[in-house]
């Protein structure tokens, strides 16, 4: 029995286009994806603003809200909950140089317009959270922006959103690089600092993605633990990554099984999910998969996560305590590896 509720975004099933080659599978319509997500065992859906309302730039504020209400009806019909809405501030011609930290005032205003509309969409979908994945907030050319001003602009944007809606919560999804070289908010430590410097720290928290922590050379379970200690871990994007290279979004646990186990273990030990938090699986299927394999990575990630939940439930805390008392960490480490290998 799983103790967690799992969530996923429509971008996690995609046609396989990357920077070096075109699509290799057909696009699957949104309605079809969400039916399948439910069948696979997901309870939550994550949205970009324009996943919910595709042509939003050319719509009035009222039209945007009405379109989002139709999506809410679709979610209700399928027994699904909207977890968050993220303004997609990296695709638009207005956000080539970033959104909140763009050097253009007009483009910064556009970014805020999208952030406010994302809050409207979240309210229409019944989602309590906005996610800020700050994809292009940072620099490609270091001298093009001031790191001090970048940080202040980011804080101003967060404060603007808090003021726009008295209830909405903001979760910053930190990532150190890609597509920018140096990000304005690379780790959960930075996110916590922004939270405490904001107008309402109780409404600004973090979303930790495993791969993003690894890209920063950090351990995802420890990043999760740090934010949990602050009471500010409000979502996670579990996936996997082979070292510090491009963001791979591999299925959860396929590269670093022990690290994956420790992520599940720290979430479980600290009652993650008891305040409605979801475990998001931000994974992508390999480009080599055929059409019928479009959901394989989601099935695999869920299977691995649930198997690791069971391993965490079986973890022998009495033995761990004994090892700690004797300072016999070799024995403890061997126990963990044997547990993961199915020898315990
Ligand atoms: C990319 C991010 C991305 C976000 C998503 C939600 O590196 O992980 O997938 O999670 O766009 O904002
Ligand atoms: Mg992510």
Give pLDDT tens digits along the chain (344 positions).
Answer: 788 999 999 999 999 999 999 999 999 999 999 999 999 999 999 999 999 999 999 999 999 999 999 999 999 999 999 999 999 999 999 999 999 999 999 999 999 999 999 999 999 999 999 999 999 999 999 999 999 999 999 999 999 999 999 999 999 999 999 999 999 999 999 999 999 999 999 999 999 999 999 999 999 999 999 999 999 999 999 999 999 999 999 999 999 999 999 999 999 999 999 999 999 999 999 999 999 999 999 999 999 999 999 999 999 999 999 999 999 999 999 999 999 999 99
Q: Which ligand is nearest to the CA of 209?
A: 2
Looking at domain 5-313, its CATH architecture is Alpha-Beta Barrel (3.20)
Closest by CA to 120, choosing from 164, 157, 77, is 164
Determine the distance separating the centroid of ligand 1 and the alpha carbon of 117, expressed in angstroms: 19
Pick from 83, 84, 173 the residue to mutate for probing ligand 1's pocket: most ligand atoms within 8 Å of its CB. Answer: 173
Q: What b/e sequence results for 55-83 when a residue is b if at least 16 CB atoms lie within 10 Å of its CB, and e otherwise? A: ebbeeeeeebbebbeebbeebeeeebbbb
175 CB within 6 A, ligand 1: yes
Active-site residue, selected from the candidate residues 51, 120, 247, 249: 51
Question: CB of 97 within 8 A of CB of 104?
Answer: yes
Instruction: Please indicate whether residue 120 is annotated as part of the active site.
Output: no
Say whether 48 is catalytic.
yes
Test site for ligand 1: of 240, 252, 282, most ligand atoms within 8 A of the Cβ? 282
Q: Where in the chain is the domain with CATH 3.20.20.150?
A: 5-313
Q: Which atom of ligand 1 is nearest to the CA of 132?
A: 12
Q: Are 213 and 185 in contact (CB under 8 A)?
A: no
């Amino acid at each position: 029995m799983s103790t967690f509720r799992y969530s996923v975004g429509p971008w996690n099933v995609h046609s396989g286009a990357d920077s070096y080659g075109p699509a290799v599978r057909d696009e699957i319509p949104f309605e079809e994806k969400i039916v399948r997500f439910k069948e696979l065992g997901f309870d939550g859906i994550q949205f970009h603003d324009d996943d919910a309302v595709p042509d939003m730039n050319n719509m009035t504020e009222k039209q945007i809200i009405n379109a989002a209400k139709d999506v809410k009806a679709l979610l209700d019909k399928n027994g699904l909950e909207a977890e968050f809405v993220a303004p997609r501030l990296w695709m638009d011609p207005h956000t080539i140089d970033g959104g909140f930290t763009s050097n253009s005032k007009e483009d910064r205003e556009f970014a805020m317009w999208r952030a406010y509309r994302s809050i409207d969409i979240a309210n229409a979908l019944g989602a309590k959270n906005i996610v800020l994945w700050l994809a292009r907030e940072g620099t490609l050319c270091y001298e093009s922006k001031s790191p001090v001003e970048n940080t202040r602009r980011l804080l101003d944007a967060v404060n603007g959103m808090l003021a726009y809606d008295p209830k909405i919560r903001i979760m910053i999804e930190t990532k150190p690089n890609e597509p920018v070289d140096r990000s304005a908010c690379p780790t959960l430590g930075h996110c916590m600092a922004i939270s405490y410097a904001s107008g309402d720290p109780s409404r600004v928290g973090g979303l930790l993605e495993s791969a993003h922590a690894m890209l920063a050379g950090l351990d995802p379970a420890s990043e999760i633990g740090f934010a949990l200690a602050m009471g500010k871990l409000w979502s996670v994007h579990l996936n996997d990554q082979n070292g510090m290279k491009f963001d791979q979004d591999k299925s959860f646990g396929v590269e670093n099984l022990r690290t994956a186990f420790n992520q599940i273990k720290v979430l479980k030990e600290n009652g993650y999910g008891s305040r409605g938090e979801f475990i998001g699986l931000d994974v992508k299927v390999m480009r080599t998969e055929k059409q019928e394999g479009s959901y394989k990575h989601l099935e695999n990630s869920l299977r691995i996560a649930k198997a690791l939940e069971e391993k965490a439930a079986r973890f022998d805390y009495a033995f761990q305590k004994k090892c700690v008392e004797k300072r016999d960490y070799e024995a403890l480490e061997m126990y963990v590896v044997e547990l993961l290998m199915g020898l315990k």
